[in-house]
Amino acid sequence: TAPLTDHLARNKTAWEVARQPSSWRCCSIPRLLALLVAVAAVAIGCLQSNGVTDGTFPLLHLTRPWNLTSDDAFSFEGQTAVITGASSGLGLGTAKLLARRGATLVVTARDTDKCEATLAELRSHSPCNNTESAHKCVAPPITCVKLELLSLARVEETAAKLIKAVPRLDILVLNAGIMAPPALELSDDGLEIQFQVNHLSQWFLANRLLPSLRRASAPRVVVISSVGHWLAPSTGLLSLSKLNDAAAYNKAKWYGWSKLCNLLFARELAR
């Protein structure tokens, strides 16, 4: 379709600009010295730091430990958040924190059983559980919606339900994802599943929810990517035909490409 073609073209352009070759041969000695200085600075930072940020490439995010707990987080009372892939991992952890800090939550999972288990887990983290007058406390509502990211038609259906249920959306966390299936698998739309689940379907969902986001005073869209975006093919963004080529399929590189798409989407949305 035209929107998908335009979206891929913008991503490809952003990637090509980001990877334009530099003139190392013209100024190799100054650039080499600059690189050595940068490496030395990173090494000194490692020695001086008590640790690195968990879950990211250590050389990119050197810092001292913040020693923060969930009690140090801002209050989210009066705000509504939608979190995809909230039945486990980062999505569940994010949902627990927002629930504890008073947000109205709408989380998604692939099936009814996962929804029920997620709701039970999140309700145990209600702010009402931490008050002496818990019997008088009214906890913000937490609901779960089934979301199947392997089909754009089903994403469209879920988006319509969310727009009706959440006319004003303050926070959208795009977290759902899959990683490195051993062999090529195609979605209901005939696309490689890491690309569709990790990027395309959630890009589609975010676009459908933009009207609700724009009704908030300070909306936020958080896209969960990965340091694995470094695994993307060095040749840049793939064509859809190459993406679906079973002979060319590489589970790590295709995962990296989907995570690179996350970054490019977030960058474009921020602009």
Q: What is the CATH number of domain 67-270?
A: 3.40.50.720
DSSP H helical segments within the chain, as ranges?
2-18, 28-48, 89-100, 112-123, 152-165, 193-195, 201-208, 210-214, 240-243, 251-270
Specify the pLDDT at position 229.
87
Which pTM was predicted? 0.75
Residue 255 bears catalytic tag: yes
Specify the pLDDT at position 16.
63
Specify the pLDDT at position 9.
66
Q: Where are the domains of the chain?
A: 23-66, 67-270
b (16+ CB within 10 A) / e for 106-133? bbbbbeeebbeebbebbeebbbeeeeee
- Residue 106 has which token pair? 């709408």
Catalytic entry in 15, 76, 254, 255: 255
Specify the pLDDT at position 43.
67
Taking 50 as the pLDDT cut, the residues of the chain under it are 23-24, 49-60
Farthest CA pair distance, the chain: 73
Reported as a single tens digit per residue, the pLDDT across 40-64 is: 766 665 555 444 444 334 444 555 5
Instruction: Find tokens 């993406």 and name the residue.
Output: 243
Indicate the Cα dihedral angle 70, 202, 150, 118, nearest 10°.
20
Specify the pLDDT at position 164.
94
Distances 194 to 39, 162, 261 between C-alpha atoms, Å: 34, 24, 11
